[in-house]
Amino acid sequence: MPLVRVSLLEGKPDSFKQKVADSIHNAMVETINVPPLDKFQVFTDHSKSGFIYSPEYLNIRHTDGLIIIQITLNTGRTVEMKKALFKRIVDLLVESVQVRPEDVLINLVEVPRENWSFGNGIAQYAT
C-alpha cells in the first residue's frame, strides 16, 4: 500500500536505486507493519537545475547526495512508529549505500484505507 516516490540527482547507477528501494521497503516492513510483498516505488532522476535543496536547514547540511523520499500510506501509524520508520530508513540506507545520514529527507502523506486499488478495479482495503 505504500506508494513510494524517490527523487535523486541524476547519475546514480541502477544498483544504487535497487539498494535504496530495498532499504526503504525493509524499513517499512520492520517498523510499520507493511506486508513484505506490498512494494511499489517509482524513482525520478532530476537534473541539477531541477533538484533544489537547502544546503543547510535546522543545522542539517545537505549535499548532492540527498535522497528525497515521499511515502503515501494508510493513516493509523503512531508518532512513535513514524519515528522508528525514519530512523530505520536512514540506518539501512547508511548501511546499503553509505549515504550521509543528513542526506535523507522523508515525508509521509496519509490516506484512508479505501483510497487504494491494487488491481482489478477493486478497493481491496475497503471494509
Hey, which residues are catalytic here?
2
Interface with a copy of itself (CB under 8 A): 3, 6-7, 14, 17-18, 21, 35, 37-54, 56-58, 60, 62, 68, 70, 72, 79, 82-83, 86-91, 101-112, 114-124, 126
Report the C-alpha gap between 48 and 124 in whole angstroms.
Answer: 39
Q: From the CB of 88, what's the least distance to a copy of itself, in Å?
A: 7
Q: From the CB of 62, what's the least distance to a copy of itself, in Å?
A: 7
Report the C-alpha gap between 85 and 62 in whole angstroms.
Answer: 20
Q: How far is CA 28 from CA 31, 37, 91, in A?
A: 5, 11, 12
